[in-house]
Amino acid sequence: MKLSRAIIRVATTLLSAAVLSPLLLAGQAQAATGADIANLANANEGKMACSTNSLGGRYFYTSCTGFSGRPEYWCADFAKWVWANVGGISVNGLDPGARSFYRYGVANSSLSDTPRVGDAAVFSPNNSASNIQHVAIVVAVNSNGTVRVQNGNWDGGSGDQPTTSGRSRVVPTTINATTGTYSASEGYYLVKYVRPAGVSDAPPPPQFGKADVVRLEAGGSLTGWQNFDALGGSWFAPEGIGGVGPVEASRVKYGDLDGDGKEDIVRVNADGSLTGWKNGNALTGSWHAPAGIGGVGDADPAQLRLADLNGDKRADLVKIGTDGSLTAWLNNNALAGSWYAPVAIGSTGPVNPAQLRFADLNADRKADLIKVHADGTLVAWQNSDAFAGSWYAPSTIGGVGAGPISGVKFADLNADGKAEVIRVSGDGSLTAWQNNNALAGSWHAPSSIGGVGTVDPERVEFPDLG
């Protein structure tokens, strides 16, 4: 999915007065967070006992040499290495034995039955604290009662210690989060979670991206305008950014499927199967090869949406019934075709699915639900815990005036995490209402923010391409 194009862009507004000054503050070290631990663990996925690790060093402590110069069982080596290399974490008392993590938890009063990102999860074949034989790093805590862990020394097959350890890798698995339960994917009981000493439990400041504009052309090619200062009416010049083949606009969806901050493309095919293009560097026309990523059966594509419902930064799949019922597939690893089983997540009452939008209106990273009425009135259901079917009561949050419903879009144009409302007119002109406190019905006055040429408004969307 590539089109050749010039890499150098020309801004649509003169930037002679702009000065970009990086604020690089040296010497202000911050305590490592759980997210830092998860990021480092994930960066080493697929590494082996004798690999060069993601920081450029050799191995994970004695993973390659601890068994008389050959690879040893190294799950604890890996977990200790991750904790030690994010900065500010004490690893005193940890050794190549997985049980050292349980002893560490006792010594630091940090054993828990509640998982948090960055924890070590310790496992036993008989659910015994005295027989801990495996440890893994928690890299995600999911709203459906599971956790994702990165396991060192995994999938090495059969053989003696140096043989199996030498073949094994860092491999992620998803397990039941409840301690005391047996995990078939691990082959062990989950005994406890261990919180690292020195980790910062303060959440990092949120970072949000700015939505760009994409127009789907009649032949399936895509034209993109990168956001420079959209609310000031400033966009980079339009350029071709790839294509999805000839297809109706209702079959093309945008959403961040892997949590990397860049929205990917999903095409809903006539048989209900889904084709995904992972965003490589979309603004230079670079996408990964298309791949099948699952299916939804016999569904009208106009009923489908991609939206992050649980704040894990990965878009989930939602189907809107004509009776207003909402069914969602939680994203497990969507680009690999892995979704959790569909669940009912609420209802709006009878509705034309074309009226419903999902967008984060309050910067909590969870998509809220908005209904656009024919007269332009906007009604919203704030997301409380969507996958549990929990939404706040609907309330009117303003209006955009009468006009085609297909032209009403929601997207964060200024990277504050809160979606603006945008109207795309038939002549391609764009009008935006900046979000002040949308869920309280507060928006800034509408302003013209540019145009994308005469077009069917349904063909214009506002994904964050990175």
Q: Which of 9-23, 94-108, 116-130 has the least mean pLDDT? A: 9-23
When pLDDT is averaged across residues 139-156 and rounded to a whole number, the result is 92
Q: Are 464 and 412 in contact, with CB atoms under 8 Å apart?
A: yes
Write down the pLDDT at residue 171. 96
In terms of Cβ atoms closer than 10 Å to its own Cβ (0-12, 13-18, 19+), residue 202 is exposed
Residue 330, φ and ψ in degrees, nearest 5: -70, 135
Write down the pLDDT at residue 218. 92
Taking the CA atoms of 125, 131, 133 and 135 in sequence, report the sign of the dihedral they define.
positive
Write down the pLDDT at residue 144. 81
pTM for this model (two decimals): 0.62
Whole-angstrom distance, CA of residue 431 vs CA of residue 353: 23
Write down the pLDDT at residue 298. 84
Higher pLDDT residue, 276 or 3?
276
Q: Which amino acid is at 389?
A: G
Write down the pLDDT at residue 234. 96
Q: How confident is the model at residue 30 (pLDDT cuts 50, 70, 90)?
A: low
Write down the pLDDT at residue 463. 98
pLDDT-above-70 percentage for the chain: 93
Is the per-residue pLDDT at 9 higher than 80?
no
For residue 438, what are its two tokens?
């949308």
What is the full DSSP assignment across 174-217?
A: EEE-STT-EETTTTEEEEEEEPPBT-B-SPPPP------EEEE-
Write down the pLDDT at residue 10. 32
Q: How confident is the model at residue 205 (pLDDT cuts 50, 70, 90)?
A: low
